[in-house]
Every structure is written in C-alpha cells, then in structure tokens.
Amino acid sequence: MNRYGVLRLVSVTLTLFVLLVYSFTPRDIIFAYTEVSQNYIENNVGQNKTYNGDLKVKILADGIEGRLKDAAAILEITGNLDVVKSTSNATLLNTTSSINGIPENDDIEKRRLAKNILSNFDVFEVIFFLMPNGDMYMEEPYMAQENLTNSNFGFRGYFQGAVNTGMAYLGDVIISAASGLPQAEIAVPLYFPNNDSLVGVWTGAIDFDLFQEGLQSLNLTHNERVIYVDNNGTKIADSDKDLLTTSESFSNLKSFKNAMIGQSGSIVEIVNGMKMFVSYQPIRALQNTWVVLWMQTASNII
C-alpha cells in the first residue's frame, strides 16, 4: 500500500474509533489523504509546462473514490450499533406527521451519533434514518428535518437501491427535499440479525460544497477548468466559480462517454463551442461511476 493509502486507512480507523465512543477527532486527520494528494499535484505536475492532465485526473479520482469508500464504511460500521438499529420511538411517527419524523428531543442517542458523524466527517451534509417503508424517522441537523417537504422517501433511487442490493448504495444526484440543492445519498440497509428482516436504512447525504472547495483550491490557469460529473453527466462540482450556479450537462462529450465505459485518457473536442483538450478519468463511486474532466484550451497545449 502506498503512503496515500496508508494515510487514508489511518484516517478512517481513527475516525471510526472515536465515533464509536461518541467523541471527536481533528479534521486535519480526516483530510490528510486529500491534502497529500493536493500537495502532490502542485509540487509535481502543477508547474509542468507540458500538459499532464491524465496524471492530474487520476490523482483527483483516487481522492474522491477514497472519500466515498470511507463515507460508506462510516455508515456501515455505525449502522451495526444497537443505538442506530433501535426504533423504539417509531410509534411517535403516527402523531408527528407535521414534522416529518420523530420530535427533536426523542431518540437522543441516535441523534447524538448522527451529529458526531457530521462533526467528524465533513463529506456528509445530513444524516438520517428511514423506516422499512421509507418513512422518515429522524434527520440531523434537525433543521433539515423541519424543512422536509415529504415524509416518505421510499420512491428515491438510493432507498430502493440499498434495499434491492442489500449493500451500501450511492444514489443519483437529486434535488434535496430539505434544501432544494443538488445532493447524492449513500444509503446502507440494516437488518435484524435473527431473521434478516429490514430494520431501516441509515443514510448520509454527500456535501458537494466540500468537493467544490477542493477544486477551487487547485492552482489552475485561467484557461483550465476541472469538473466532477455524475453518471448522467450532471455537474457535481466545478473549479470555475463563475459557473457554479450554471446548469450544464456533459453527457454528450466523447470524453464523458469514454470514462463511463471505464476508459481514461485525453482527447480534443468541442466544449461549449470551444476547442478543448480534455483529460478524463472514471471515479469508481461505489456501485456507480462518476467522472473527472480536466479541460484546457487546446491552443495552449504544448
């Protein structure tokens, strides 16, 4: 295992240990792997006058894959705790439909654990628990639960995917019912050990702002742009601050299509009417595939 893999393994191990005792861990430990990757880009390829996008996208893809795997591991391991599997307050759902779940001061231990996950693992924006029928049981932060416009999420792809596969499942990018912003969820189905019946689905919504900040911290020229897109070609994060709120699809790009069938490399193609040199790399996002695209104006390539 290389040093980046060791750092990630140590990071996750420390995080899990601390979470299991309901405490906190320094954020600089959690993101050691990403910081090393960023430094490697800047020190080894950032100043290279020859365009080396293939190496850059490989490093970025590895970093995102690592974060997603770590996020799934956090949910899987904490999901085995009795405090998570317990739904002793489920009877309250029949009388609290107006708040789309149990009240804020009920099932405190599960809420406390969810808060600690959010505090120690910034890849998540919210943590929530769904009943076997898809009803919302609880969500943290509680403000997100208050803002929900639905009480049942059994129709969501991440819920159905987790239940149908019996494994951690990364859903497609959707519009959050709480915030109205794009997000994707990692959902883990939980079962009773004695009869394998479904207890519920322990879920974390990925915070795309974290990916956004990572791309915008790269040392890019004004002719370069890096984006992450999901399996549908929908933009997840963008290094260009001016295009943050611009709705774009990259599903028609040859680079995107190549990456979606497992290829990586660089090609010249037209992007938004401009001739661009595009390096692409698939991101193995659990059972899903995302893509890194690193673009630079073709006339600037040596």
Decide: 224 and 44 in contact? Cβ < 8 Å. no
Closest CA to 78 of 195, 197, 176, 168: 168
Pick the more confident residue, 30 or 14: 14
Q: How many residues does the chain have?
A: 302
Give mean pLDDT, residues 130-142.
95
- Report pLDDT for 181: 66
For 188-235, write each residue's pLDDT tens digit: 999 988 778 999 999 999 988 888 888 888 888 878 999 999 999 988
- Report pLDDT for 53: 66
- Report pLDDT for 251: 94
The two three-digit tokens of residue 16, written as one number = 């899990």
Give mean pLDDT, residues 67-78.
92
- Boundaries of every domain in the chain: 89-208
Q: Both ends of the chain: CA-CA distance in Å?
A: 34
Pick the more confident residue, 227 or 14: 227
Q: Does the pLDDT of residue 244 top 80, yes or no?
A: no
Superfamily of domain 89-208: PAS domain (3.30.450.20)
Phi, psi of 112 (to 5 degrees): -65, -45
Closest CA to 236 of 258, 262, 210, 255: 210
- Report pLDDT for 23: 39
pLDDT band at 19 (very low <50, low <70, confident <90, very high): very low
pLDDT band at 178 (very low <50, low <70, confident <90, very high): low
Give mean pLDDT, residues 279-293.
94
- Report pLDDT for 111: 95
Give mean pLDDT, residues 32-55.
49
Q: How many CB atoms lie within 10 A of CB 97?
A: 10
Helix, coil or strand: residue 249:
strand
- Report pLDDT for 139: 96
pLDDT band at 180 (very low <50, low <70, confident <90, very high): low
When the pLDDT of each residue in the chain is averaged and rounded to a whole number, the result is 81
Highest mean pLDDT among 13-22, 98-107, 153-162: 153-162
- Report pLDDT for 40: 46
pLDDT band at 5 (very low <50, low <70, confident <90, very high): very low
pTM for the model stands at 0.80
pLDDT band at 47 (very low <50, low <70, confident <90, very high): very low
